[in-house]
Amino acid sequence: VAHLPWLSLLVFLPLAAAVLVLLLPASSARTIRLLATGAALVEFAVSLPLWWRVVPGAPGFQFEESVSWIPSIGARYHLGVDGVSSLLVLLTTFITVIAVLGAWTAVEKRSKQFFALVLALEAGMVGTFFCLDLLLFYVFWEAMLIPMYLLIGVWGGQRRVYAAVKFFLFTMAGSVLMLVAILSLWFTQRNMGGAPTFDLPTFYAMPIPPEQQFWLFLAFAFAFAIKVPMFPLHTWLPDAHVEAPTAGSVILAAVLLKMGTYGFIRFAMPLFPNALLVCGPWIAWLAIFGIIYGALVAMVQPDLKKLVAYSSVSHMGVAMLGLMAMNSQGFAGSMMTMLNHGVSTGALFLLVGVIYERRHTRKIADFGGLWKVIPVFSVIFLVVMLSSIGLPGTNGFIGEFLVLFGAFRHDILWATVAATGVILSACYMLWMFQRVVFGTVTHEENRHLKDLSLRERLVFAPLLVLIFWMGVAPQPFLDRMQPALDRTLQLTQARAVQSAAPAVPAAPPAAPAADTAQGGVR
Amino acid sequence: MNVVPQPAFLAVDGWALGPLVALTLGVIALLLLEVVPQRENGNRGPIVSLLALGAAGWAALRVAHDKRVLFEGMFVHDPMTVFFTLLFCAVGALSVFSAWDYLKRTKINQAEYYALMLSSIMGMIVMAASNDLVTIFLGLELMSIPLYIMVGFRRTRPDSTEAALKYFLLGAFASAFLLYGIALLYGATGTTNLARLGTFLYDTPLPGNPLLLVGALLVFTGFAFKVAVVPFHMWTPDVYEGAPTSVTGFMSAGAKAAGFAALLRVGLRALGPIQADWTSLLAVLAFLTMTVGNFTALMQPNLKRMLAYSSIAHAGYIMVAIAAGGQEGAAAAVFYLAVYSFMNLGAFAILTMLGKGRDERVLVSDLAGVGFRQPLLGIAMTVFMLSLGGIPPTAGFMGKIVVFSAAMKHPALLWLVIAGVLNSVVSVFYYLRVTISMYMKEPEGEGVHVSWGAAASLAVLLTLAATLYFGMQSQGLWVQAQAAVAGLL
């Protein structure tokens, strides 16, 4: 078992399952669903050991696999995992199970292709989190767009084609410049006399002149900021979310957006720390603006899905702010916010999907008084909504608290302004909840809605468990992410010093040589 | 190099000319066999062509590691010749596969089609193997004249005839430009041999010599026409649209590769010493070609026309590599040409299957709903489109990587690289339109009829395999491409 390429298995298992699903005859809808669910469950089970087998304090990456891929340009098939990526992969495999289970009855048309694409998407997401080679990362990063594009475009709502193309083009427009930056890094490294490589740890050790860092950072940050998405690059998100099928929205919100923040943690920040020092405050203010803007726009949305989509803009702003605080609390808070947002927003999209399946409308005005009609749904909705607001005792609280704490340590003004966004989030969520769930039943159609089925309850049960677990006892999560985050932070700070003074790296080899020379003279 | 002692010398020379001999024999056999009547829709043409192409490829492989200069330095047999000979044989074989059923379906199944195709391939090989401007011209004509006829092969259709006439007239102009350029270069340097031209220019740079300058420009114009570089691209959409689909696929892959092969030889071998003077001109042309191609492709409702503009854009990407110059640029261009041939032929092989009888259905909207009705065809077309758009994990992505990384070497070309990657974002828009039509639209009425044929399916499968394989395992092809251009400098 020790020599099993575990990470590769995690990447390619869903892909193999996807091919298998595609080969089934389209008529056997039940078998397709069972196989897809089974595959997602097996993938989740195989990924579970990430929780205890990844040692949080160990330096560097673990379970590394490194095989030569394109030797002429030095690209390698290099996978590895640390405390950050392990948690995000666990989130991915968990959410995929939830999304597949949630889509059992929602997708009637072409369910075979649907489940195959969800599984292929999972392979792409897991691969993106594990990659330690920049070219391989780019391959996974771009390849992942294709299944998501098709999920939105084929199974989406009215304006699905527009939303799918917008999603694809926005993300690609951002990432092609990152590709140029990756190639530029490759040349810088080669011009310094190194063997050509795309290896991330090698770049971690390479000083980059600050003036060059600035442009490279902009290219990387642009790609990631579109994915996060940060204001003002967020316009693709409401469209994609509203048009995507429920499972697509869940995965998009829960995992795909995290790719952006993960990209900052793994690539943009540690590689270009000097540029970060220059751009950080700007990004932080954009993030703060995004928190408030997202919340304000969410407040006036008549459509439930759009409201949740804009709340994502707001929450991901919180995650970005935590990163830009550049301290231990901010990082941990940001990472917690990423996980929380994955769980809570994923659950919110599922809940919207549940009532959409019953009523075929998502307009807030079409609901009201659901509490009496579908109590189980309403209670779950209440808990998820409160966790999204960040009520103490639920998962949302700890992430927001740590981010604000980190921001406060960096700049009181940041924390003060950002905190108003947190208050606003309570406003739009509670108001929405009041209009949908409380009051009297205003529409006759709502009087006979069916409450959650057993399958749907099974879908929400693990989400509720996580909401309370992460809210009441976040320590196991923090323990796992903190060492890796602190290492990233130290690396970023150390590299900032190293690159700012180009003479420094040259000095140590020179100094001992001088010493020995003097010793020889004596 | 050859380790067999000298008596084998003749044998090597013989094998080096083997591909041309095999193809000539194929042409003769095809034409002579016409004396013997065969039943309608017989398979003689494609089978004989495949045999000839197989023999040609085999002959080239036999002496793949030898290097020879033949016919008083007019013809070279080196890794580049071998690479392109094999590429042209592959292009030829794939084109035969996609033409097999298509010609029968559209009632133009005549042995002459295959004979013309083989002679055109011969011309391509001569172009890639030429070491002399005169031989290049011979090769160019040998390639082009059969193509003029092939474009007009559906002679009952006015658009086919129009395309042939247009191609012929403009092609004749281009040939004239090339010839005039050759004459001027000869006037300036006293030789048409590429190696001697290079040596001469190396010793006597002739700065600002008008004869040399105009001559080189005219020669470049001749090639630029063949490979459809802006502003010499005007013929492409009409010719691509009017020609039988199997011909369009063949010429888009083969003629482009041959044109660039000759351009590389002339550029690196003969004009290499004055390359630096050209970089900015080539860069501007590359930028224009990419941009004009992509932006005009955006709204084309006809797939053949769209792919015509896309082929212009791809010529632009290759021009980026050529502007980058040097070993890496040349290798990148060669790599891209191989990759482009496979993905583009795949897309055209699918197009040959669309429609029933003589009817051709090549509008983007005709594809509506095909993706789910014909899952394999849908997946293959999606892969080809993504590859043309440069999305990983396909061969087109690796092609873009090698081209742009070659250009990144020159800080002065950074703007071109950025323009190039942004261009590929634009291009993705129209390639996605095909997938939108296939998967996200419902057909009005019946939906397009797909005429499945074993040979065309084989062509699709082979190109699909190549597109995916070179996307994930590009090392082998990249090493071959580098070896191919290693001897040029």
Residue B6 — very low, low, confident or very high, per pLDDT cuts 50/70/90? very low
Q: Which tokens sit at B100?
A: 């097999």
User: Quick one: closest CA in B to A25, which residue?
Assistant: B375
- Provide the pairing of β-strand A62-70 with B75-77: unpaired
The larger pLDDT score, comparing residue A214 to residue B446, is at A214
CB contact under 8 A, B440 and A153: yes
Q: How far B109 CA lies from chain A's nearest CA (Å)?
A: 36
CA distance B483 to B474: 14
Surface-to-core class of residue B54, CB atoms within 10 Å of its CB (0-12 exposed, 13-18 middle, 19+ buried): middle
Residue B48 — very low, low, confident or very high, per pLDDT cuts 50/70/90? very high
What percentage of chain B reaches a pLDDT higher than 90?
63
pLDDT per residue as tens digits for the range B252-267: 999 999 999 999 998 8
Q: Does B467 touch chain A (CB under 8 A)?
A: no
Q: How far B381 CA lies from chain A's nearest CA (Å)?
A: 14
Average pLDDT over residues B412-431: 93
Residue B444 · residue B368 · CB < 8 Å: yes
Least confident of A24-33, B143-152, B417-426, B461-470: A24-33
pLDDT of the residue at A515 = 39
pLDDT of the residue at A522 = 33
CB contact under 8 A, A177 and B435: no
Q: How far B94 CA lies from chain A's nearest CA (Å)?
A: 27
pLDDT of the residue at B5 = 44
Which of B402, B425, B439 is nearest residue A172 as measured by Cβ atoms?
Answer: B425
Which of A154, A165, A177 is nearest residue B421 as measured by Cβ atoms?
Answer: A177
Q: Does A164 touch chain B (CB under 8 A)?
A: yes
Q: Which residues pair with A131 in a beta bridge?
A: A79
**Confidence check: pLDDT of A353 > 60:** yes
pLDDT per residue as tens digits for the range B184-210: 999 988 889 988 888 888 887 777 788
Contacts of B432 in chain A (CB under 8 A): 149, 165, 168
CB contact under 8 A, A165 and B436: yes
Q: Does A73 touch chain B (CB under 8 A)?
A: yes
CB contact under 8 A, A168 and B428: yes
Q: Does A472 touch chain B (CB under 8 A)?
A: no
Residue B230 — very low, low, confident or very high, per pLDDT cuts 50/70/90? confident
pLDDT per residue as tens digits for the range A286-301: 999 999 999 999 999 9
Mean pLDDT of chain B: 89
Q: Does A282 touch chain B (CB under 8 A)?
A: no
Q: Which of A145-149, A491-495, A502-506 has the highest mean pLDDT?
A: A145-149
Residue A230 · residue A138 · CB < 8 Å: no
Please tell me the total number of residues recorded for chain A in this structure: 522
Taking the CA of residue B462 as centre, how many other CA atoms within 13 Å lie in the half-sphere pointing to its CB? Answer: 19
CA distance A43 to A45: 5
pLDDT of the residue at A24 = 87
Residue type, A111: S
Q: How far B476 CA lies from chain A's nearest CA (Å)?
A: 9
Residue B470 · residue B384 · CB < 8 Å: no
CA distance B120 to B126: 10
Residue B297 · residue B284 · CB < 8 Å: no
Give all strands (DSSP E) within B420-465, no chain letters.
none
User: Quick one: closest CA in B to A111, which residue?
Assistant: B372
Count Cβ atoms below 10 Å from residue A177 Cβ, excluding itself. Answer: 21
CB contact under 8 A, A69 and B475: yes
Residue A466 · residue A473 · CB < 8 Å: no
Average pLDDT over residues B281-310: 93
Contacts of B408 in chain A (CB under 8 A): 180, 183-184, 187
pLDDT of the residue at B447 = 80
Q: Does A72 touch chain B (CB under 8 A)?
A: yes
State how far the alpha carbon of B25 is from the alpha carbons of B30, B32, B35, B36, B270, in Å. Answer: 8, 10, 16, 17, 33
CB contact under 8 A, A169 and B425: yes
Average pLDDT over residues A184-201: 87
CA distance A317 to B443: 43
User: Quick one: closest CA in A to B471, which residue?
Assistant: A139
Q: Which residues pair with B363 in a beta bridge?
A: B302
Contacts of A177 in chain B (CB under 8 A): 418, 421
> How many Å is the Cα radius of gyration of chain A?
23
CB contact under 8 A, B401 and A183: yes
CA distance A260 to B260: 41
DSSP-assigned letters across all residues of A83-133: HHHHHHHHHHHHHHHHHHHHTTTT--TTHHHHHHHHHHHHHHHHHHHHB-B
pLDDT of the residue at B50 = 95
Least confident of A245-249, A513-517, B395-399, B421-425: A513-517
Contacts of A186 in chain B (CB under 8 A): 405
Count Cβ atoms below 10 Å from residue B361 Cβ, excluding itself. Answer: 19
Q: How far A30 CA lies from chain B's nearest CA (Å)?
A: 19
**Backbone torsions φ then ψ of B150, nearest 5 degrees:** -65, -40
Residue B410 — very low, low, confident or very high, per pLDDT cuts 50/70/90? confident
Three-class HEC string of B248-286: HHHHHHHHHHHHHHHHHHHHHHHCHHHHHHHHHHHHHHH
Q: How far B486 CA lies from chain A's nearest CA (Å)?
A: 15
pLDDT per residue as tens digits for the range A303-343: 999 999 999 999 999 999 999 998 899 999 999 999 999 99
Residue A250 · residue A146 · CB < 8 Å: no
Average pLDDT over residues B416-441: 93
Residue B469 — very low, low, confident or very high, per pLDDT cuts 50/70/90? very high
pLDDT of the residue at A108 = 78
Taking the CA of residue A273 as centre, how many other CA atoms within 13 Å lie in the half-sphere pointing to its CB? Answer: 21
Which helix or strand (DSSP H or E) is residue B299 part of? none
Query: Widest CA span of chain B, in angstroms?
Result: 70
Q: Which tokens sit at B139?
A: 């090769």
Residue A120 — very low, low, confident or very high, per pLDDT cuts 50/70/90? very high
**Confidence check: pLDDT of A514 > 90:** no
User: Quick one: closest CA in A to B474, which residue?
Assistant: A70
Contacts of A138 in chain B (CB under 8 A): 392
Q: Which tokens sit at B461?
A: 């499968």
Average pLDDT over residues B298-320: 93
CA distance A163 to A239: 5
CB contact under 8 A, A183 and B440: no
Surface-to-core class of residue B253, CB atoms within 10 Å of its CB (0-12 exposed, 13-18 middle, 19+ buried): buried
Q: Which residues pair with B68 in a beta bridge?
A: B77
Q: Does A417 touch chain B (CB under 8 A)?
A: no
pLDDT per residue as tens digits for the range A236-258: 999 999 899 989 999 999 999 99
Which helix or strand (DSSP H or E) is residue A414 part of? helix A412-437
Cis, bond preceding B393 (omega within 30 deg of 0)? yes
pLDDT per residue as tens digits for the range A127-174: 999 999 999 999 999 999 999 999 999 998 888 999 999 999 999 998
The larger pLDDT score, comparing residue A357 to residue A511, is at A357
pLDDT of the residue at A209 = 85
Q: Which tokens sit at B318?
A: 């290759």
Mean pLDDT of chain A: 88
pLDDT of the residue at B25 = 95
pLDDT of the residue at A196 = 87
Three-class HEC string of A308-326: HHHHHHHHHHHHHHHHHCC
Q: Which of A77, A112, A139 to mutate to test the interface with B (most CBs of B within 10 A)?
A: A139
CA distance B8 to B328: 34
CB contact under 8 A, A72 and B375: no
Cis, bond preceding B231 (omega within 30 deg of 0)? yes
**Confidence check: pLDDT of B4 > 70:** no
Residue B132 · residue B74 · CB < 8 Å: yes
Q: Which of A183, A184, A198 to mutate to test the interface with B (most CBs of B within 10 A)?
A: A183
Which residues have a Cβ under 8 Å from the Cβ of A178 and sit 6 or more positions away? A138, A219, A220, A222, A223
pLDDT per residue as tens digits for the range B209-229: 888 889 988 999 999 998 999
Average pLDDT over residues A476-483: 90
Residue A509 — very low, low, confident or very high, per pLDDT cuts 50/70/90? very low
Residue A44 CA from chain centroid, whole number: 17
Cis, bond preceding B205 (omega within 30 deg of 0)? no
**Backbone torsions φ then ψ of B205, nearest 5 degrees:** -60, -20
Q: How far A12 CA lies from chain B's nearest CA (Å)?
A: 14
* pTM over the 0.90 mark: yes
Q: Which tokens sit at A91?
A: 């989130």
Residue A103 — very low, low, confident or very high, per pLDDT cuts 50/70/90? confident
